[in-house]
């Protein structure tokens, strides 16, 4: 997937979210993951503010169904795929799903509420 295609994975949906469509599948891991290059690119394009040295490995925050989940990068996941722990998977997976991606401010609030702190929880 090219950088241009990755950026188009998500489009502004509301004041706090971007909307995208990803192939969502359950996996045996304990955290939600997308392809590392996609993760870094989305992080850079949508979360970075262009000031100083910025992390590109901070979790993205996606809303799938009714819950928010932190999403990390993983080299073993195909581009355009969100792999979620089986414990979070619904019966209609795998399949294409609309996914909301929290913008930078909302993601930071959600992550802090969950106990994640930048530069501590890498």
Give me 17's structure tokens: 């979210």
- Mean pLDDT of all residues in 18-29: 94
Whether pTM exceeds 0.85: no
Instruction: Give the angle subtended at the CA of 23 by the CAs of 20 and 25, to the nearest 5°.
Output: 130
What is the SS3 assignment for the chain? CCHHHHHCCEEECCCCEEEEEEEEEEECCCCEEEEHHHHHHHHHHHHCCCCCCCCCCCCEEEEECCEEEEEEEECCCCCCEEEEEHHHCCCCCCEEEEEEEECHHHHHHHHHHCCCCCCCCC
Residues 64-120: tens digit of each pLDDT: 887 889 999 999 999 999 999 999 898 899 999 999 999 888 888 888 776 655 443
Spatial CB neighbours of 115, under 8 Å, sequence gap ≥ 6: 121
**CATH code that applies to domain 21-114:** 2.40.40
CA 83 to chain centre: 10
In which band, very low, low, confident or very high, does the pLDDT at 1 lie, cut at 50, 70 and 90?
A: very low
Q: Is the pLDDT of residue 18 over 90?
A: yes
Cross-strand pairs, 68: 63
Position 38 scores a pLDDT of: 92
């Amino acid at each position: 997937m090219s950088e241009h295609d990755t950026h188009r994975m998500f489009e502004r949906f509301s004041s706090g979210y971007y909307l995208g469509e990803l192939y969502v599948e359950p996996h045996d891991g304990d955290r939600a993951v997308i392809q590392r290059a996609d993760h870094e690119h989305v992080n850079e394009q949508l979360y970075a503010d262009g000031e100083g040295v910025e992390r590109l490995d901070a979790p993205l925050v996606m809303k799938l169904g009714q819950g928010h989940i932190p999403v990390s990068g993983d080299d073993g996941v195909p581009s355009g795929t969100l792999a979620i722990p089986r414990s979070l998977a619904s019966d209609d997976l795998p399949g294409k799903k609309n996914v909301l991606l929290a913008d930078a401010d909302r993601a930071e609030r959600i992550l802090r509420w969950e106990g994640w702190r930048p530069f501590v929880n890498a």
